[in-house]
Amino acid sequence: MFGAGGGTSSYQEIEEADVVLLWGSNAREAHPIYFHHVLKGLDQGATMYAVDPRRSSSAKFADVWLGLNLGTDVALANGVGREIIAAGLQNQAFIDHATAGFEAYRDHVEPFTLDYVEQVTGVPAAAIAEMAHAYATADKAQILWTLGITEHHNGVDNVKSLCNLSLLTGHVGRWGSGLVPLRGQNNVQGGGDMGALPNKLPGFQDLTNPDHRAKFEAVYGTPLNPEPGLHLTLMFEAMEQGTIRGAYCIGENPADSEADSAHARKLLSGLDILVVQDIFLTRTAELADVVLPSSVGWAECDGTVTSSERRVQRVRAAVPPPGECRHDHEIIGELARRLGVDWGDPTPEELWDELRSLSPMHAGMSYQRLADEGGLQWPCPEMDHPGSPFLHGWLWEDDLGGRPPAPFSLTDHAGPKEELSAEFPLRLTTGRALDSYNTGVQSGGYDNPIRYGDALDLNPDDAAALGIVDGETVRVSSPRGAVEMAIRVQPDIPAGLAFTTFHFPELVDINTITNDEWDRESGTAEFKAAAIRVEKLRHG
């Protein structure tokens, strides 16, 4: 199936690409070692277009930076698609062979003329056309994105708009071309692979499919609930509605990481029972009734994680967990025992082998092979299968391997949910800094010379208009709340835009002002676009 699973390409492929569209990603800081592969490609002559509202440290490596208005990605992508078609540069043979819905797409993007898109996005028409032509005529081209695409109320539409471009040009399903969503956490891919999704069983097998369920029920020896569960955002809605009264939270810190976090904390506090299993007493754990101290997944435990290129790799215990901390699987097993089911004491490898027996795409990945071959990329269905560097090669096969053709999607420009107003005239967006990570639970543990804390980056003109100087502490408000934080005057931020990281919630509780509007398909909140006001502090 086209449109499910993971990034289509291997890291090595970007080194051989001719054109790279880096779209809504600051990989230089958020995925530094992936960016090394990008840099090899650039050194070997690849042309990179960076699409980002701010000229991030990644965008500075680009041949062309296109600073679009925040939240206008669909318009830009549709404009690129229209320009490709208008110039006759689409790969018609590929479209006819492997895709469905091209005519509807063509008609749908027709209004996205260069002039219109320039007006919506703020990017000069000539640059849009240039990027469209470069992408369409490249031998090998990839689109890379991260949360700049997905953390919007219409994140799924954003992704679909980009996928359309690859279908239009045939830049998918072959070596060097592809669609690469970069994963933010070391096992966000693996979590999905293992079925930690509301509607999936391990290996992206469908919970609602009785045949799939039956296989698992046979091995697990118990019937499975066929009803899909809730994703995190819906869980909070359910808490609000009172249909969820208890939660068991493993290795997640929603009290800091949720958009409009003050609201999230209130809901968590109101639960009948909250159990938190973590390596630290996080802000979420502080709200818990029971805290189960666990161990560090990559340094104190054995197991596997899966990377952005679908590479399953071994993690191993190097140091013992301190005090009474125990491994996650032991804690869960002990809980099961207390609930009356004895799973024994399976080793991580035994658990993995059980997974392999149930998930065909992992079947060929023994611990031995994972160790010997530096990890393996799924699907890897047999012990003699080499793993899969890229996905969707079937799009180029004569009979599509019996699969339905890849569909074009129709998407519309919808801008950020929260409109700017006289009261909140600035656009706030958030992202990562190189040395830190998420809410700082882990990265807060070390100090370093490049750390500057969370500060609000502001264009010099905006700062001047507000009478604010570099380093000054200001009050930043949104319709949901306010924080005090320092200003960094940055010439690389366009006027009207403000940017901050979110790594020090104890110091700057930034998610109390971010927007919790969320995408109905993905459940992801619009962290990337809130309306704010910046004010000088009154000194008494």
Partner 1 sequence: MTLPTNPSGAASEVNVNLTVNGQSVSVPAGTTIHRACERAGIDTPTLCWAENLTPVNVCRVCVVEVEGNRTLVPSCARAVEEGMVVNTDSERVRHSRRMVLEFLASGVDLDQAEGLRRWLDEYEADPGRYDQDGLPARTVYEEPKVQDNLYIRDYSRCVLCYKCVEACGDDAQHTYAIAVSGRGFDARISTEFDVTLPDSACVYCGNCIGVCPTGAIQFKTEFDLRQASDWRPDEQTVTQTVCSYCGVGCNLELHVQDERIVKVTSPADHSVTHGHLCIKGRFGWQYVQPVDAPTRQRRP
Partner 2 sequence: MADLSISEANADAIEQAAVDAVLGDQTAEIRETERLVRAGTQRRRDHRHLLLPALHALQNAKGWISPGGLNYVCRQLQVPPAEAYGVATFYDLFRVDEPDTIGDVTHVCVDAACQISGSAERQRELAARGVTVHRSPCLGQCDRAPAEFVQAVAGPDRVDADSQPYVLPQHGDSSLRLLRRIGVVDPNSLASYQAAGGYEALAAAIAMGPTAVCDAVAASGLSGRGGAAFPTGVKWRAVAAEQGRPKHVVANCDESEPGTFKDRVVMENDPFAVIEALTIAGFATAAENGWIYIRGEYPLATRRLSEAIVQARAAGLLGENVAGSGHRFDIEIRRGAGAYICGEETALFASIEGFRGEPRSKPPFPTTHGLFQEPTAVNNPETLLNVLEVINRGADGYREVGTENSPGTKLLCLSGRVARPGVYEVPFGTTLGEVLALAGGISGDDPLRAVLLGGAAGNFVLPDQLDMPMTLEDARQRGTTLGSGVVMAFTAEVDMVAVAVRIAEFFRGESCGQCVPCRVGTVRQHETMVQLQQSGALTEQRRELSDDIARVMADASICGLGHTAASAVGSALRLGLLGEGPGDGGVDQGRLP
Check binding of 302 to partner 2 (CB under 8 A): no
Check binding of 88 to partner 2 (CB under 8 A): no
Q: Where are the alpha helices (DSSP H) in 317-434?
A: 328-338, 348-358, 367-372
Instruction: Report in angstroms the alpha-carbon separations of 440 from 188, 502, 509.
Output: 17, 8, 12
Check binding of 340 to partner 1 (CB under 8 A): no
For residue 432, the minimal CB distance to partner 1 (Å) is 8
Per-residue burial over 222-247, b if 16 or more Cβ lie within 10 Å, else e, is: eeeeeeeeeebbebbeebeeeebeeb
Check binding of 293 to partner 1 (CB under 8 A): yes
Question: Considering CB distances under 5 to 8 angstroms, the limit depending on partner class, which of partner 1, partner 2, none binds residue 326?
Answer: none
Which residues, other chains included, contact 339 with Cβ-Cβ below 8 Å and sequence gap of 6+?
A: none
Check binding of 22 to partner 2 (CB under 8 A): no
Check binding of 431 to partner 2 (CB under 8 A): no
Site for partner 1 in 378-437 (CB under 8 A): 389-390, 393, 396-398, 434-437
CA quadruple 158, 159, 162, 163: dihedral positive or negative?
negative
Contact pick of 5, 101, 122, 184 for partner 1 (by CB under 8 A) = 184
Site for partner 2 in 106-125 (CB under 8 A): 122-124
**Taking a C-beta distance cutoff of 8 angstroms, is the pair 68, 55 a contact?**
no
- Alpha carbons 368 and 379: distance in angstroms, whole number: 17
Check binding of 449 to partner 2 (CB under 8 A): no
Which residues, other chains included, contact 186 with Cβ-Cβ below 8 Å and sequence gap of 6+?
A: 298, 305, 307
Instruction: Read off the tokens for 336.
Output: 């099961």
Check binding of 66 to partner 2 (CB under 8 A): yes
Check binding of 51 to partner 2 (CB under 8 A): no
- Alpha carbons 138 and 46: distance in angstroms, whole number: 10
Nearer to partner 2, 59 or 529 (CB): 59
Instruction: Read off the tokens for 352.
Output: 């993995």
For residue 61, the minimal CB distance to partner 2 (Å) is 5
Nearer to partner 2, 59 or 292 (CB): 59
For residue 42, the minimal CB distance to partner 2 (Å) is 5
Q: Where are the alpha helices (DSSP H) in 359-483?
A: 367-372, 460-466
For residue 431, the minimal CB distance to partner 1 (Å) is 13
Contact pick of 2, 23, 61, 112 for partner 1 (by CB under 8 A) = 61
**Binding segment (CB under 8 A) for partner 1, from list 317-325, 403-411, 461-469, 517-525:** 317-325
Question: Considering CB distances under 5 to 8 angstroms, the limit depending on partner class, which of partner 2, partner 1, none binds residue 124?
Answer: partner 2
Question: Considering CB distances under 5 to 8 angstroms, the limit depending on partner class, which of partner 2, partner 1, none binds residue 104?
Answer: none
For residue 312, the minimal CB distance to partner 1 (Å) is 9
Nearer to partner 1, 314 or 385 (CB): 314
φ/ψ of residue 120, rounded to 5: -75, -45
Site for partner 2 in 123-162 (CB under 8 A): 123-124, 127
**Taking a C-beta distance cutoff of 8 angstroms, is the pair 200, 207 a contact?**
yes
* Contact map string, positions 472 to 511, toward partner 2, x by CB under 8 A: ----------------------xx----------------
Contact pick of 5, 36, 55, 224 for partner 2 (by CB under 8 A) = 55
Nearer to partner 1, 10 or 72 (CB): 10
**Binding segment (CB under 8 A) for partner 1, from list 228-236, 295-303, 360-368, 404-412:** 295-303
Nearer to partner 1, 4 or 93 (CB): 93
Check binding of 280 to partner 1 (CB under 8 A): yes
**Taking a C-beta distance cutoff of 8 angstroms, is the pair 315, 367 a contact?**
no
* Contact map string, positions 28 to 47, toward partner 2, x by CB under 8 A: x-------------xx-x-x
φ/ψ of residue 518, rounded to 5: -140, 160
Which residues, other chains included, contact 277 with Cβ-Cβ below 8 Å and sequence gap of 6+?
A: 248, 249, 250, 251, 291, 292, 294, 328, 331
Contact pick of 412, 470, 506, 535 for partner 1 (by CB under 8 A) = 506
How many chain residues bind partner 1 (CB under 8 A)? Answer: 80
- Residues forming a β-bridge with 291: 276
**Taking a C-beta distance cutoff of 8 angstroms, is the pair 302, 348 a contact?**
yes
Distance of CA 469 to the CA centre of its chain: 34
Check binding of 197 to partner 1 (CB under 8 A): no
Which residues, other chains included, contact 68 with Cβ-Cβ below 8 Å and sequence gap of 6+?
A: 51, 52, 53, 76, 121, 122, 123
For residue 127, the minimal CB distance to partner 1 (Å) is 24
Per the listing, tokens 């779209």 go with 23
For residue 506, the minimal CB distance to partner 2 (Å) is 28
Nearer to partner 2, 43 or 384 (CB): 43
Burial (0-12, 13-18, 19+ Cβ within 10 Å), 508: buried
For residue 53, the minimal CB distance to partner 2 (Å) is 9
Question: Considering CB distances under 5 to 8 angstroms, the limit depending on partner class, which of partner 2, partner 1, none binds residue 311?
Answer: partner 1
For residue 226, the minimal CB distance to partner 1 (Å) is 30
The per-residue DSSP string of 263-311 comes to HHHHHHHTSSEEEEEESS--HHHHT-SEEEEB--TTTT--EEEE-TT-E
For residue 81, the minimal CB distance to partner 1 (Å) is 22
**In what helix (H) or strand (E) does residue 430 lie, and over which residues does it extend?**
strand 426-430
Residues that bind partner 2 (CB under 8 A): 28, 42-43, 45, 47-48, 55, 57, 59-68, 122-124, 127, 494-495
